[in-house]
Copies of this chain bind each other. A is one copy, B any other.
Amino acid sequence: MSEYTLYCFAQSGNAYKTALMLELCKLDWQAKFVDFFNGEARSPDYRAINEMGEVPVLLHGDARLTQTGVILDYLAGMTGRFGAKTPEEGREILRWLFWDNHKLTSYTATYRFLINFAQTGTTPVTQFLEQRMRTAFKVLDERLEDRDWIVGTNASIADISACGYLFWPDEFGVDWRDYPGIGAWLERIKAIDGWRAPYDLMPGHADLEQPRD
């Protein structure tokens, strides 16, 4: 039995944020697979775990945590890693966590879901989402133009949160050369000791389940 249990699945960038944090902090954690694509997150059993019907959920001792921003903040407090050094920096990190949830992850995740998994093709809804996703990319790209990390001089949970969906540019048809600040920053994140890609870190990706020829 590991110290931390994470309800997750490989395609969830929100789950990846927390899995990556657990991994970078070298914590003892295990994944519990949620069969999202077959509706498990909407089931009564799962709603009893998280009434918001969302992935991930983190179990640690008696604590049951949901919402990636809360989980990242909790783990930063537990480990002393990737957190704030001052109250001002703490507010700055929290500010970017909210922005990510509302403006970056929200539109990117939903756009990717429709285009890549639901395969709706281009529709008024995907056009609406893509435009807002690209607006968010522009804000982040400009933020990173002359800085290595979103807040302060070190990687923080603001970076770990914001990168959650951004290692899949092919799945939402973006070339990071169009957003060079983001592209260079993602390479910096990949260079952090212990970094692993989403599909290598969580269960449920077909490539992992079915051995290739």
Interface 1/0s, chain A 145-187, versus B by CB < 8 A? Answer: 0000000000000000000000000000000000000000000
Q: Of the listed stretches A18-26, A63-71, A190-198, name the one at the interface; the rest are far from the partner chain.
A: A63-71
A103: B residues at CB distance < 8 A:
52
A143 to B53 Cα, complex, angstroms = 13
**Is A208 interfacial (CB-CB < 8 Å)?**
no
A67 to B66 Cα, complex, angstroms = 20
A84 to B103 Cα, complex, angstroms = 26
A125 to B107 Cα, complex, angstroms = 13
A70: B residues at CB distance < 8 A:
91, 94-95, 98
Pairwise interchain contact B52-A99, C-beta atoms closer than 8 A: yes
What distance in Å separates the Cβ of A68 from its nearest Cβ neighbour in chain B? 8
A97: B residues at CB distance < 8 A:
98
Contact-residue bracket for chain A? 20 to 34
A143: B residues at CB distance < 8 A:
51
A128 to B139 Cα, complex, angstroms = 25
What distance in Å separates the Cβ of A105 from its nearest Cβ neighbour in chain B? 8
Pairwise interchain contact B123-A95, C-beta atoms closer than 8 A: no
**Is A28 interfacial (CB-CB < 8 Å)?**
no
**Is A101 interfacial (CB-CB < 8 Å)?**
yes
Pairwise interchain contact B98-A53, C-beta atoms closer than 8 A: no
* Chain A residues proximal to chain B, CB less than 8 Å: 51-53, 63, 65-70, 73-74, 88, 91, 94-95, 97-99, 101-103, 105-106, 123-125, 128, 139, 142-143
The 10 A-B pairs with the shortest beta carbon distances in the complex, nearest first, are: A124-B124, A67-B98, A67-B95, A101-B102, A125-B128, A69-B98, A70-B95, A70-B94, A70-B91, A124-B125
